[in-house]
Chains A and B, each alone.
Chain A
Amino acid sequence: MPTTRQPPSENAWARRATSAFTRGFTASSLFCPRYALYALMSFLALQGLTKRFGDAVAVDQLSLDVDKGEFVSLLGPSGCGKTTTLQMIAGFVEPSAGTIMLAQRDLTKVKPAARGLGIVFQSYALFPHMTAAQNIAFGLEMRGVAKPEQERRVADALALVGLAGLAERYPRRMSGGQQQRVALARALVIRPDVLLLDEPLSNLDAKLREEMQVELRAIQRTVGTTTILVTHDQGEAMALSDRIVVMNRGRVEQIARPTEIYQAPATAFVANFLGKINVLPASVAAGVATIGSARFATPGAADGRCSASVRPERIAFAAQGLAGTVKARIFQGHHWLLQVATDAGLITVIAPNDGRALPAEGAATHLTWRSEDMTLTEPAR
């Protein structure tokens, strides 16, 4: 078993929580001296990265700091600018504004061939006229690595991705999953500073994708390469990443750890994009939020109308709370999906299939949840 990379210590996370990582994405903090300090310390730093195509802004003022060895995902719907961001890091697209710093080196004007990044493309882009081993050796050849060392490193890379026996096979004769592994080995064998993954799993079927997720994470931990993944699949982003950057229409919506993004979405967009969520109209007065007929203590919340977001799995049936009627009850194997009509609207509830009795269809019931499981945001845009 190869040695695994240690995840960043709790201390590092705490530092992040209070530092530029959470606050460094507003324009004003760009001029904060502390921000500059952290930009110096971080391994890969994107600052105010912007790309305009004519009048359209594909990426708008994106700032991101990535630590050495970290796995960061750019997550968002198609057209949110995540791929353009990746292509700017790779050097295939020239930024309209902003800088890219890698280990204190300004990459912004460096040619793609000289950046030394490993890239796995969505289509894999393997060289069809070369065998798996030749594909992997290509980057080493370009670097003038001596033949014996090339062979050793190619063999190591093939073993790393579990393709030791297929060195002499051509890509056409390989399955999608195998081609994907060759592409990964080809990107990693040059020992890149940063590994860029452009929707690498989207061409695989669901089962294989899950297997590859686990494997990709294990490989990344083994080699410890700083990795940036572009994906539209929230499950993939949550399963693989140390941190997720949620993007929408060229802007960053939230940068946080997967659990944080899921449990405390910063915006209504993030809440809706990651998993099922109930968004309910609420009004706050004197630290108490009123949702339909139910009241929740929310000390410190600003008075006025807002949206309350609650994950369906955090809602429980109770004797008191928000009154409603069960409209539908759907069995889904390891859980039940219920839809309850309340005076705050239709609410989706996910209840574990743990043998406890659930209200039948048509039954009157009450819903409740803890105040801390609820996020209050501005009404959805």
Chain B
Amino acid sequence: MSTAETRRRASTPWLLAGPALLLFVGVVLIPIAMTVLLSFHDWGQYKGIDPIITLKNWRDIATDSYFFEIFLRTFRIALMVTAISVAIGAPEAYILNRMGPPWRGIFLVIVLGPLLISVVARTLGWALLLGSTGLVNVALLRLGLVAAPVQFMFSETGMVIALVHVLLPFVVISVWASLQRLDPQIENAAVSLGASAVTVLRRIVLPQVMPGILSGSVVVFALAASAFATPAIIGGRRLKVASTLAYDEFLNTLNWPLGAAVAVLLLIAVAAIIVGANRFTERRYAEVFQ
């Protein structure tokens, strides 16, 4: 075999991956690199963006408690949404998996339905329901459960409710996928050895669907932390999270460098958490499930 041919063989994968790689570099890597670069530029009310390298934006974010509070809120909401989604989604997937043929399909469509509707339409629906004269508050008042309307709108509670609704299907899908891999006889095996229903769930089923729960959590956490439409509509201007903060800095204050710094920080934080969670899952479960 000639060396030219060997060289051509070695370059084949690159040529085949080339188009996709170019697209990825063009629409993902370059914009991110530019955003990172932008976050180090200066900005002034009258001079606009000043292309010098400075740590001013990063220093602002690190020292101003305003930013700290917003990031804290973002991750608090994301954690709450993840916890509630897992608490509801995992049992939901388990029940779905045990359903008979006609009902399983029907309920799966109902569970996944929210994914088919635009986020904006869905969130506006929640805004109607959760408003001070909305259906939920009217019902609570009429039932005498509360004396005054509950403030759902522009509150973390409202945001968490709406985000859980949007993101729940991701947990259901990933837990369901791991339930499908479960040996159908395995629960019977545990029962025959004397295990109670609770023990079967805790000791046999849960450990086996844990990778599914963890991967579902990672997806939900990342999407909740970087969600924009839902916090923008439910939280509005009053209750900002990292993504709405970045948006406001870009489009209202026109302080692009500061907005870029917020966006980059959010990206780094979410990426770190995802990579960390994946490492944990792989190390913990590789021996058992690979």
Contacts and interface: CB of A to CB of B under 8 A. Distances in A.
A121 B193 contact: no
B89 to A, nearest CB: 21
A170 B204 CA distance: 15
Nearest to B186: A125
B86 to A, nearest CB: 19
B189 A125 contact: yes
A142 B199 contact: yes
A156 B199 CA distance: 26
A118 interface: yes
A170 B287 contact: yes
Contacts of B285: 129
Nearest to A142: B194
Contacts of B51: none
A143 B207 contact: no
A118 B190 contact: no
Interface in A230-250: none
Given A125-B185, A129-B207, A113 B289 contact: no
B2 interface: no
Contacts of B30: none
Given A119-B189, A128-B288, A142 B207 contact: no
Interface in A175-214: 186-187, 190
Nearest to A116: B194
Interface string B177-215: 000000101101111111110010001100110000000
A313 to B, nearest CB: 39
Contact of A121 (B188, B196, B203, B290): B188
A126 B217 CA distance: 27
Contact of B191 (A112, A118, A127, A128): A112
Nearest to B196: A113
A113 B188 CA distance: 9
B194 A143 contact: yes
Given A125-B183, A128-B208, A92 B195 contact: no
A190 B194 contact: yes
Contacts, number: 68
A113 B185 contact: no
B191 A113 contact: yes
Interface residues of B, number: 22
Contact of A118 (B186, B192, B208): B192
B194 A92 contact: no
Contacts of A138: 190, 193, 195, 203
A15 interface: no
Contact of A112 (B185, B192, B203, B288): B192
B270 to A, nearest CB: 29
B188 A142 contact: no
A288 B188 CA distance: 56
A294 interface: no
A117 B195 contact: no
B188 A92 contact: yes
A278 B228 CA distance: 79
Nearest to B188: A92
A313 B98 CA distance: 52
Contacts of B203: 138
A122 B189 CA distance: 11
A139 interface: yes
Given A121-B188, A123-B185, A125-B188, A172 B194 contact: no
Contacts of A186: 193
A157 to B, nearest CB: 13
A90 B196 contact: no
B290 A172 contact: yes
A172 B189 contact: no
B194 A113 contact: yes
A194 to B, nearest CB: 11
A117 B285 CA distance: 31
A113 B195 contact: yes
B262 to A, nearest CB: 41
A139 B288 contact: no
Nearest to A122: B185
A351 to B, nearest CB: 45
A113 B192 contact: yes
B185 A121 contact: yes
Contact of B193 (A122, A139, A170, A172): A139
B131 to A, nearest CB: 47
Contacts of A142: 193-195, 199
A125 B188 CA distance: 9
B74 to A, nearest CB: 34
Contacts of A90: 188, 192
B197 to A, nearest CB: 9
Contacts of B289: 128-129, 172
Nearest to A121: B185
Interface string B201-243: 0011001100000000000000000000000000000000000
Nearest to B287: A170
Contacts of B199: 142
B192 A127 contact: no
9 contacts: A112-B192, A117-B192, A118-B192, A119-B188, A121-B188, A126-B189, A129-B285, A142-B194, A186-B193
Nearest first, the 9 A-B pairs at minimum CB distance are: A139-B193, A142-B194, A125-B189, A125-B185, A129-B207, A121-B185, A119-B192, A125-B186, A129-B288
Given A125-B185, A173-B287, A187-B192, 10 more contacts: A113-B191, A115-B192, A127-B190, A127-B204, A129-B289, A139-B194, A142-B193, A142-B195, A143-B194, A172-B287
